[in-house]
A and B are shown apart, each in its own frame.
Chain A
């Protein structure tokens, strides 16, 4: 019987991309909170980003099928709400990928909810801080729309939460 180490599972999960942002993985987004291996049983602890996000079920299903493809017979994806997901958990590496993808990463707020609503996002294209909030809501639940006043591009920011 093959041995599944936690490191192997984490590596496999890191290949699963966020369906709405295909450049970052569910691990980099901080959506996978824990992995537990118990014999032939693997439990993945999962936490939702935005409560109404339609990609959540897709991600849960992808975790299931990716781990079953490794030959693991018993896979459980456990959903927890505590502690609530925060955009602070998005790793530095993922932030760089978001920027390259044209999506400004969210400001880190350290749990201070007031900072969440500061209308600040540096332009992911030219790097300027001179940007204007166009719409607090965007093409998905997790996006806000800005315009850059220097390069005049319209861009989206991943919402701070």
Chain B
């Protein structure tokens, strides 16, 4: 022990008891005596070995062997059944399985036979090991991880000799230029990767597909919405007209999704909200200002919009202010009006970036 725990002795403020215990470890069977009574109990050594029935009785051993062989046999049977089921059962067969319900028969039979085939190999092997293989505990010695002092010195010598032989230490010019070259060589790789992964965002996050005069369309039917069809208390999932023809449908949908609600104008407390709507019909971005999930749950009695991902709650009567949850900013409102035919249209694009916060959104 003493060769690899000198540090313990230097423990600042170590108490005498600790220092005294330094040289022996009860967990290594070291004990110390004072007044005829040892300071610690001594490790009594391995308990006496208890033989199993299969060690003493050949009949029990033969029984164990039969059990192991049976398990291996079951495994073979299950494997054959898997192979038969693979060809015999059409993967589109559905059957009622008690406890599971209507289920894909092929999946169940293949999985169960595969599972049984594998399990039986494992159970057989473990049973074999536990009943028939030797169960006398064997002891191996450990050695400290630390190399001997000689070996350490030898290693240091080799490294130093290598440094000297290569003249690395004598010629600093090589040392510094090598350091510089190795320090810089990864840059082209990093720059290539980082530079080419994607385009710069520019103003992309701050703009959406919405333009002035675009009709509000039902999602996913893509039919225009007549203001007169919007009954009090109803809610519509909305996309801008023509978004399905755009070059990047999903990317545009991810920013342009809007939820349209019809409220009694009297309950709206913010004048701006009333002005940007039409007769109590208001449209808000459906993309949560927290991390961007669609705020799809509207409770028309309380006028609350709830995000199903992290439960941010927005109050539609208060310009979609956050009244609960981890989001901070209100949902941006889309200013709407009606066109000559009575359909709802956007009166202007979104005035601010929709969706989750980012540094330069302002």
Q: Do A and B come from one complex?
A: no
